[in-house]
Structure 1
Amino acid sequence: MMVTLSSSVSFDIRAGTIIHAVIVSLPGHYIVKINFGSIIGIRTCVLHTAPHICAESLLEQHVCAIINFPEFKKNTKTLKTIILCMPDTHGHYIPIQPDHCIPNGGSLFS
């Protein structure tokens, strides 16, 4: 399902599994690869999360992401995928995760 914020902006929100995470510069700053299934494929995005979260703990996490965000540059990478996060009690961003097993590429709908 597309979530529409205005008449000209719609976001496609899908479930996927983090399959790769590499620290970028500071603790909590990662480049991650997410598997969205065979139709959408693997996408790369940036994740800024709590400094105590390590790359290994991100692997195999199911997350929700916008997969059709307008392209933007982050350092040398061009990205179109944004992991949806919410702040914890310390203000660190934590990825939103489905409670149940959702197939990779599963779409948000209302």
Structure 2
Amino acid sequence: MTKEITIEDFLKVDIRVGRVLEVSEFPEARKPAYKLKIDFGDGIGIRKSSAQITKLYEPGELVGRQVMAVVNFPPRQIGPFMSEVLVLGFSDADGNISLAAPDHDVPIGGRLH
């Protein structure tokens, strides 16, 4: 059973769409992960994130892809890397993360409604 929240609680979470600019390996991570640079457009700019998505994605297929991320959490130190946004995804039956993204190209920086 899930815990109920109010619409006001939900509206506090700022989920935006961004475009992946760069992907690099993150060998220092405890679990296999990539370091991402994501452009969220004017107002938010370019932010960094770490994502444990190495099982389903190759770096080359991620560049240029749109992703959804929470942009108003405080930065989080992950080993030697400072993650500035939380990229969103869902676990498949094997625990691999599949990215949450819009079905069609939308303007970067757009907020989830």
Q: Normalising TM by the smaller chain, what interval?
A: 0.7 to 0.9
Please tell me the residue identity of whatever aligns with 1:4. D
Structure 1 residues 3 and 65: CA distance shift in structure 2, 3 A: farther
Alpha-carbon displacement from aligned partner over 1:5-44 (angstroms, at most 9, x marks no partner): 5xxx921100011110001127951000001012210000
Please tell me whether residue 4 in structure 1 is matched to residue 6 in structure 2. no
Once the two structures are superposed, the pairs formed by residues 1-110 of structure 1 within 5 Å of their partners are 4=9, 10-25=12-27, 28-109=32-113
Contact kept, 8 Å, 1:18 with 1:35, in 2: the verdict is yes
SS in 2 for 1:19: strand
SS in 2 for 1:38: coil
Contact kept, 8 Å, 1:85 with 1:95, in 2: the verdict is yes
For residue 52 of structure 1, report the CA deviation from its aligned partner. Answer: 4.7
Contact kept, 8 Å, 1:3 with 1:12, in 2: the verdict is no
Sequence identity percentage: 28
Structure 2 unaligned spans of 5+: 1-6
Structure 1 unaligned spans of 5+: none
| 4+ long deviations beyond 4 Å | none
State the TM-score, normalizing by the size of structure 1: 0.83
Q: How many residues align?
A: 105
- Alpha-carbon separation, structure 1, partners of 2:41 and 2:66: 12
Contact kept, 8 Å, 2:35 with 2:49, in 1: the verdict is yes
- RMSD (CA atoms): 2.3
State the TM-score, normalizing by the size of structure 2: 0.81
For residue 101 of structure 1, report the CA deviation from its aligned partner. Answer: 1.4
SS in 2 for 1:44: strand
Contact kept, 8 Å, 1:72 with 1:78, in 2: the verdict is yes
Contact kept, 8 Å, 2:34 with 2:54, in 1: the verdict is no
> Counting strand residues as a fraction of each chain, which structure ranks higher?
1
